Structure 1
């Protein structure tokens, strides 16, 4: 039985909706500290108490935004999708939907190695799934609007793999130094920004 092809419009609409909701839910992970005295403590003290939640929020927001940018770039060249692409995309969206909850855990238990591992694994699974989508599409040109050249294929693959690679590095780093392992995820948007900037200048 031949795999049925369909347009990518509904898949894109669902993906945009799930990612938009995930980005919105991330801010709910920032709680007002119970022990803060607004009459005595200043703004700086307030922000210091919020620092774990703010770091988790900003890092997760930027990473999810990167996922959306790459996903948009991928499906901008897609004419048709099939069951395999839809299933892989659902796995990708499932991982995305978990990030607000995992980000909240990371803000509450930022120095817990197990939580850092969960946070890293969530991004490894999400990034690898998006890589599989891209690899499948570029191996089957009939689903694309035009054949993708080697440079474009490699460039997008590198941008996807930045996230799971740094996330994988974070696990042994956290085992050695939990503080460094907690903050290593900040390098993901930094490195992505460098790659994107260099690509635009080339």
Structure 2
């Protein structure tokens, strides 16, 4: 009787601490959708005199560049999120907090996107440096959030799907750490040369998009092409 009660207590504790990932994924998808919607709101119709619409639209190129860069960044983070939770069997409180850290950082993208587009559009060199550096800082924070998430999963293999080892997320920590360094460098470069920093900020999401299913999958695709 005592042994049976002990087993029931363990089961109840396990149920209380662990849950499926459906709510976390659903909530995260909603946040990503809202962030993408907020990015679109910065694409505004210019108020101009008749005959000046084309010139006004062309003058807004910084807004378009900032939108494309941030949209790619959000899309890449969604793909990374999808690839990560596809390998997760259940979630505990620590994983939920790590996931919320990622979502907190993603939600900052519309703000820094508007900063960059407005600063470049107005043409003030100092404001451009400040805005690009702020964008890079958010990139550092977001990469650090992913590093926290990957580290947590690498230390809790009981949360992973069958067949997924903690070594997968140990390797992913390197990819996230690379993002911390790369965005920090982009911020420093942006304080000196804004166009170069913008190119770096545009290329980084492309790299993370190609490796969104993990560095192992990226290496395997490269080997196949050889």
Q: TM-score range by the shorter chain?
A: 0.7 to 0.9
Deviation at 1:178, TM superposition (A): 2.5
Structure 1 match to 2:157? 141
Structure 2 match to 1:188? 204
Structure 2 match to 1:41? 52
Instruction: Extract structure 1 runs of 4+ deviating beyond 4 A.
Output: 193-199
* 2:94 pairs with one of 60, 84, 100: 84
> In 2, Cα distance between the equivalents of 1:189 and 1:140?
28
Check if 1:20 corresponds to 2:33.
yes
On the 8 A contact 1:166/1:185 being kept in 2, the answer is no
With over 3 angstroms needed to count, the CA separation of the structure-2 counterparts of 1:155 and 1:199, relative to structure 1, is farther
Unpaired segments ≥5 residues, structure 1: none
Check if 1:97 corresponds to 2:107.
yes
Structure 1 match to 2:9? none
* 1:175 pairs with one of 183, 191, 202: 191
Deviation at 1:201, TM superposition (A): 4.1
> In 2, Cα distance between the equivalents of 1:155 and 1:49?
43
On the 8 A contact 1:30/1:54 being kept in 2, the answer is yes
Unpaired segments ≥5 residues, structure 2: 1-12, 213-217
Alignment of 1:121-160 (within 5 A): 121-146=137-162, 147-148=164-165, 150=167, 152-153=168-169, 156-160=172-176
* RMSD over aligned Cα atoms: 2.5
Structure 1 match to 2:5? none
Deviation at 1:177, TM superposition (A): 1.3
Partner deviation per Cα, 1:47-86 (whole Å, 9 max, x = no partner): 4212111011000000111011011111111111111111
Question: Is the radius of gyration larger for structure 1 or structure 2?
Answer: 2
Deviation at 1:154, TM superposition (A): 5.8
